[in-house]
Amino acid sequence: MTFVLDDRSMAFTGDALLIRGAGRTDFQQGNARKLYHSVVEQIFSLPPECLIYPAHDYRGLTCSSVGEERQFNPRLGGERSEGDFVGYMENLGLPHPKQIDIAVPANLKCGHIPGAEGGLAAHWGPVRYTYAGINEIDPDWVADHAIDLQIVDVREPSEYTGDLGHIRDARLIPLGELGKHVATLSKDDPTVTVCRSGGRSAQAAVILEKQGFTKVANLAGGMLAWWQHHLPVVEGIAPH
């Protein structure tokens, strides 16, 4: 469903037409042929200068135009035929999103089905699932509940004892060695991964999830955010 301003200067294309892409049609009653005709016959009938705002973009882009997508969209633009598009969409080979079997029934019932909320949220803390596919948690909450958490710092030893210091009782396991030490960590305790800015620790969280850790989250913003929130550290000095 696309919402268009009265003067046709802007269109909000939801999950149908994305920037240089198109919404998936392999679940939630999707149909590649219907999507093709919806975009080509409806959205692409708008003026070329009409701005397009999709519901989301994993690269952080926010806006395109009808003219741009008609020319450059690799799935629907140029001379792409219905057969081209359907063949492309039917062979994406993408895995289904996490919790899709819970989210789709919830969507079809306006978000309210018995038991759905329990499957979509973490029970051990205010974890949020980012567009990058990572579970994150905020520094303030971690500081308040650190005694109940298994905190794993995946930086190098020189960083652990360096300027930013480390969170008290955080266990140092450099990212490159995490695989060898997984068995020494408890899968029962909520686990928070930490690094300088949240990049390496995000990867660490994914590694632990693949190893069967069901209660794991990345510290949002890493030790830099920890300092910004004026939270206590061991052996650290304020970053410049």
**Catalytic site positions:** 195
Phi, psi of 224 (to 5 degrees): -65, -45
